[in-house]
Amino acid sequence: MPGYSRALAVLAALSLVCMALSVSVGSASLSVGDTFAVLTGTGTPIQQTLVLELRLPRTLTGFATGGLLAVAGALMQVLLRNPLADPYVLGLSGGAAVGALLAMMAGVAGAVVSGSAFAGALLATFLVFGLAHGTGSWTPSRLLLTGVVVAAGWGALIALILAMSPARQLPGMLYWLMGDLSPAANPVPGLILLTLVCLLVFPLGRSLNVLARGPMQAAALGVSVRPLEWTIYILASLLTATAVTMAGSVGFVGLVVPHMLRLVLGNDQRLILPACAMAGGSLLVLADTLARVVIAPEQLPVGVITALLGVPTFLYLLYRSR
């Protein structure tokens, strides 16, 4: 338990460093002094706009998205008792994608695309919930199978939309599918949700640990297994829906971050979940900084970078832990 505070403090520091880096680095070069000046209220109008209206919201959105996805991934892995689960395994991102792409195809503006994505995500959640619930005997593998099939269905719809859209809309759609932080989203709901979930972890955390040992074992120790599983499902879905609404379907963060942290920090969900929030946030902020800088003034979608960063990091950690 004492190691927990230390680990969390380190991650908190890492988060702050990554966010500071993200705010001061970009295609427009701003020295540390200038950045600080802006944050304390001075600086030219263009600098102020740059930092306060462009970079800061984007950094916060990136942090919230990364944190939400990592926590959702950790929760999914506990729920399905499967280390290969990620937040999208139950078809959530597929539903959100269909919502977003349909909105783009109809040519509507940014806020409607986000709302449409959220609606699609919720629809996907209820669809899988209903299908897996309705047949009586419910197990994680049944939920997983239902989710995978539904996800494939969404995939087919996405392919259809891509095939039928006019060519000029394709770059926008592809960027959404890869995960992109440039549409200016509001980070506040995401950050609030992330904080709430991290607080919720304390009363729920040990039950999650027990649940992770097996449902029968958990029931024998007094855990109300079914309600807890549905709570995790709804929570993970809400987190993922929020994340996907902000930044499209950013891949890898939800799969790799919980894994990495478990290899290093063990299995106590009370430590892992808040650690995921901070590590996931840091990773995404870092990835987005790279995405904005690597071919400046052009930029890449952040999902490309998370994939490229995530894979070798994970392989390295696996190799080390042997």
What residues make contact with other proteins under the rule CB under 8 A?
Answer: 1, 26-28, 45-46, 48-50, 53-55, 77-78, 81, 83, 107, 109-110, 163, 166-168, 171-172, 175, 180, 182-184, 202-204, 206-207, 209-210, 212-217, 219-224, 266-268, 270, 292, 296-299, 301
Q: In the structure encoding, which two tokens stand for residue 43, read together?
A: 């600086």
Residue whose CB is less far from other proteins, 1 or 32: 1
Nearer to other proteins, 78 or 194 (CB): 78
Least distance between other proteins and beta carbon 248 (Å): 10
Nearer to other proteins, 131 or 307 (CB): 307
For residue 61, the tally of other CB atoms under 10 A from its CB is 25
Q: Which is nearer to other proteins, 149 or 296 (CB)?
A: 296
Q: How far is the CB of 84 from other proteins (least distance, A)?
A: 12
Burial class of residue 147 in the structure, from the number of CB atoms within 10 Å of its CB (0-12 exposed, 13-18 middle, 19+ buried): buried
Residue pair 92/244 in contact by the 8 Å Cβ criterion? yes
152 vs 295 by CB, closer to other proteins: 295
Q: Which of 285, 210, 244 is closest to 72 using CA atoms?
A: 244
Q: Could you tell me the smallest distance in angstroms from the CB atom of residue 125 to other proteins?
A: 24
DSSP labels for 173-226? HHHHHH----S---HHHHHHHHHHHHHHHHHHHHHHHHHHT-HHHHHHTT--HH
Least distance (Å) between residue 47 CB and other proteins: 9
Residue 82 DSSP one-character state:
-
CB of 127 to other proteins, least distance (A): 27
